[in-house]
Amino acid sequence: MELQQLKYFQAVARLEHMTRAAEELNITQPSLSITIGRLEESIGVPLFDRFGRQIKLNDFGRTFLKRVERVFSELDEGVREVKDLAGLEYGTVSLAATNLVLLPELLNSFLTNYPQVKFRLFQDTTLKMQQQLEKGEVDLCITSPPVEGQGIQCIPLFREEIIVVVPKEHRLAKCKEIMLHDLADDPFVSLKTGYGIRDTADHLCQLAGYVPNIAFEVNEPSLVSYLVQSGIGVAFLPKNAWKGTLEQTTSCLQIKDPDFHRTIGLSWMEERYFSAASHRLRQFVIDYFTKFTNE
């Protein structure tokens, strides 16, 4: 059994399509089919169910894939650890984060102290970021709700109020605070299901007696505020996000009932190797938000 076979198997298992996997791996489809066939022969069981030209990962394949992904994760961590020890690079940190207004300031402050560190940033739903963390694709997650699970270490960083942002001409624009049920008939601009703030908002609206009317659903958090400014609808936003041009073009309404806050947490895998750069960033984030919440 060779690493190349495992790499090819991983690609086919992910795509469940021989031709697309061959194109991605830059080899011919017949060569890929032969390699997968030899792998199955060496293991002694089929890893895929075949239906004509279609293939689908079976129970044997799913079990084997978990081990294969663990193998490649261990190899990647081994390379990182050796490079870190040998001083061949100053360090690269992979960070998945909820859309935080404070993040650019945090990273800029960190890079002022450690300008040699490089970053790979990711942003997605909380579930997707948890999967990235568990697979070793990211080192740290700064998310809301905090990523938790088996083998994951998590600490809360701070608690943030969620407000309602409405266009200046909105009927409630002059109100300082509202009840959540006051928005039962309003069109909402929202992130898609799976983002923490969307899931919490849906739950609280249901407790208030209605299902929110989502007029626009987007994947990009920054689009939410732009759409509100255009007058399309209202939106839930973290209070720290309401500043700059938003203060001039929209109104901020505090939610009197029910209480609407979110907790931002920092998460990492307990047993995974941490580079010196990752260690530095983790402690920096903890210290940064300790100072932030005490101000």
How many other CB atoms are found less than 10 A from the CB of residue 2? 11
Do 114 and 192 lie in one domain? The reply is no
pLDDT at position 155 over 90: yes
* Residue 117 placed within a domain: yes
pLDDT at position 170 over 80: yes
Q: What's residue 235's pLDDT?
A: 94
Give residue-wise pLDDT tens across range 13-38: 999 998 899 999 999 989 989 999 99
Do 271 and 128 lie in one domain? The reply is yes
pLDDT at position 245 over 80: no
* Residue 209 placed within a domain: yes
Enclosing domain of residue 91: 82-156+265-294
Q: What's residue 102's pLDDT?
A: 79
Give residue-wise pLDDT tens across range 33-59: 999 999 999 999 999 998 877 889 999
Do 61 and 184 lie in one domain? The reply is no
Per-residue pLDDT band for 125 (boundaries 50, 70, 90) equals confident
Which residues lie closer than 8 Å to 145 by C-beta, 6 or more apart?
A: 126, 196, 200, 262, 263, 265
Give residue-wise pLDDT tens across range 78-108: 877 777 664 545 678 999 998 777 788 899 9
Q: What's residue 293's pLDDT?
A: 66
Q: What is the mean predicted confidence (pLDDT) over 115-126?
A: 88
Question: In whole angstroms, what is the distance from residue 143 CA to residue 267 CA?
Answer: 8
Give me the CATH number covering residue 139. 3.40.190.10
Per-residue pLDDT band for 157 (boundaries 50, 70, 90) equals very high
Which residues lie closer than 8 Å to 163 by C-beta, 6 or more apart?
A: 236, 237, 238, 239, 242, 252, 253, 254, 255
Q: What's residue 84's pLDDT?
A: 66
* Residue 31 placed within a domain: yes
* Residue 120 placed within a domain: yes
Do 175 and 38 lie in one domain? The reply is no
Do 150 and 272 lie in one domain? The reply is yes
Report percent pLDDT > 70 for the chain.
96
pLDDT at position 149 over 50: yes
Residue with tokens 């390699």: 35
* Residue 248 placed within a domain: yes
Do 282 and 223 lie in one domain? The reply is no
- Which residue would you say has higher pLDDT here, 268 or 222? 268
Question: In whole angstroms, what is the distance from residue 79 CA to residue 81 CA?
Answer: 5
Q: What's residue 294's pLDDT?
A: 62
Do 35 and 177 lie in one domain? The reply is no
- Which residue would you say has higher pLDDT here, 80 or 132? 132
Domain total in the chain: 3
Angle at 115 between CA 112 and CA 116, to 5 degrees: 165
* Residue 256 placed within a domain: yes
Question: In whole angstroms, what is the distance from residue 86 CA to residue 134 CA?
Answer: 26
Q: What's residue 88's pLDDT?
A: 44
Do 63 and 89 lie in one domain? The reply is no
Do 171 and 182 lie in one domain? The reply is yes
Last residue of a domain, one of 72, 99, 116: 72
Is there a contact between 266 and 140 (Cβ–Cβ < 8 Å)?
yes
Do 187 and 128 lie in one domain? The reply is no
Report percent pLDDT > 90 for the chain.
49
Do 230 and 276 lie in one domain? The reply is no
* Residue 77 placed within a domain: no
| pTM metric for this prediction | 0.66
Do 180 and 217 lie in one domain? The reply is yes
Give me the CATH number covering residue 14. 1.10.10.10
Give me the CATH number covering residue 182. 3.40.190.290
- Mean pLDDT in the chain? 88
